Structure 1
Amino acid sequence: MVLTDIEYLMNYLDEHHVPIINKKRHTYLTYHGLAEHYTYILKQGIIKNSIILQDGREFNLSYIVKPDVISLLRDEVSKYTDQPFNVRIESDEATFYQVDRVTFWNYVNANLELQNYVKNYYRKKLSENIFRSQRMVMNGKKGAVCAFIYSLIDLFGRQVPEGILIDFIVTNDDIAGFCGISSRSSVNRMLNELKNDGALTTKNHKFIITDISYLIDHIAN
């Protein structure tokens, strides 16, 4: 059986007996701007990455829902480096490999498979950053909300009789943080508009997309 890059990395870390830590829901793994000397690899769970803007607001960057390295910074030699963002646990619990940064880069530099993983990691993150920028720049507020909800399909979506269930509770505050909207009341107004137009409904505080074409029509291409 051919292993994926992340499966190879996790097996490699297991073979080298890298410590595993657990974090509970709504606790933070790292904080934006604080010095950190570990690299973390999500083993299981759901996390959210965010940064703190100059005005003190939190701007959400992404959810990570499957095994992946949380952040890879290019500084390979410094024992400590400032964290690029907050990492908050969104599932009931999340499990991480915790490896000293310098040790991690020693692993990478000595192993071709891990070097390929790092290259693919940077390529993927660049693509994600471009997508986020497009969502913010090319869409108005409603378009940004539609684009964000549409992006949840790949992460949490599953088919149900009513449409596509987003099987994860996303709050208005989080939507505002992902879409660069200053208040949750603005998000609430736009969500009500989507519901009134028949594109969205909610059940047990979870979204059900009932008209996916409506979301697509309101996303700038």
Structure 2
Amino acid sequence: MNNLALTDYLAQKNFPIVTKEYKKYLLYEGIQDHHVYILKSGVIKTSVISKDGREFNLEYINDLEVVSLLKDEYSQFIDAPFNIRVESAKAELYQIDRIEFWKDINQNFDLQIYVKNYYRERLMKSMKRTQQMLMNGKFGAVCTQIYDLYDKFGIEVHEGVLIDFVVTNEDIAHFCGINAASSVSRIMNQLKSCGAIKMHNRKILVKNIELIKDNIIF
């Protein structure tokens, strides 16, 4: 997504910045709030809790991006649609009154385009993720998550591409709708055995991305 309009908008304003440390929550699903939050730096994770109490991870966000859905432009308070938790050492977020943000959007054509693209990409991501979860099975779902991490956090090193972010088997399980981290562990061992990945200082090193992609229905 082209964030130039959002970058310009933030540069023109003097919004307060909220700083949260590792594993601290910015929002809890269902709790009312009257702000829009935009990630300035760091990594956050969004998740929801199912009716039986299980956590389901939605995505990691590590770029300048709106991280709380905007919803309608008339309600001063809205229920947070998901949990937002900091996954890096700390994260900084712009805090904007949501009514003020909507007024600014309505007066700024470039921001309107940004918001339209924001919702369009959110919808496409949701549809793609649902398709991959339904069609790939557990093994394919884990491969899909590794591919997403590779795309978001990957840096080239001598042996391949290092996912420069520590992700536990439990977190991967929560992204894939898998009940037990042990199931993810078995799949990870299979990927190690076939030469697709290896572990390096608790991080995933992707040695052969094609072997990962072979197990994903795009």
Does 2:83 match 1:86?
yes
Answering whether residue 95 of structure 2 is matched by residue 98 of structure 1, we say: yes
- C-alpha contact 2:36 2:70 (8 A) present in aligned 1: no
- 1:62-81 map, 5 Å: 62-81=59-78
1:167 to 164, 169, 188: 164
The one-letter amino acid paired with 2:184 is V
Deviation at 1:169, TM superposition (A): 0.4
Structure 2 stretches of 5 or more lacking a match?
none
The one-letter amino acid paired with 1:208 is: L
Distance in 1 (CA, whole Å) between partners of 2:189 and 2:9 is 48
Aligned residues: 218
SS in 2 for 1:66: coil
How far residue 5 of structure 1 moved from its aligned partner, in angstroms, is 4.7
List alignment gaps of at least 5 residues for structure 1. none
2:32 is matched with: 35
Matched residue, 1:9: 6
| SS at structure 1 position matched to 2:115 | helix
RMSD: 1.3
Residue type of the partner of 2:191?
L
Match of 1:144 in 2: 141
Percent identical pairs in the alignment equals: 50
State which of 106, 110, 117 in structure 2 corresponds to 1:109.
106
Deviations 1:109-161 (A, max 9, x none): 11111111100101111111112112211111001001110111111111111
Q: Label 1:166 to 1:19 Cα distance change in 2 as closer, same or farther (>3 A).
A: same
The SS at the match of 2:71 is coil
What SS does the corresponding residue of 1:130 show, helix, strand or coil? helix
Q: In structure 2, how many angstroms separate the alpha carbons of the residues matched to 1:115 and 1:152?
A: 30
Letter in 2 for 1:63: Y
> In the alignment, residue 182 of structure 2 is paired with which amino acid?
S
TM-score, with length taken from structure 1: 0.95
CA–CA distance in structure 2, aligned partners of residues 5 and 142 of structure 1? 33
Equivalent pair of 1:5/1:113 in contact (CA under 8 Å)? no
Does 2:201 align with 1:177?
Answer: no
- 1:13 Cα deviation from its structure 2 partner: 2.8
Q: Kindly provide the amino acid, as one letter, of the partner of residue 189 in structure 1.
A: R
> Could you state the TM-score of these two structures normalised by the residue count of structure 2?
0.96
Alignment match, 1:44: 41
* Contact residue 26 and residue 86 of structure 2 kept, 8 A: yes
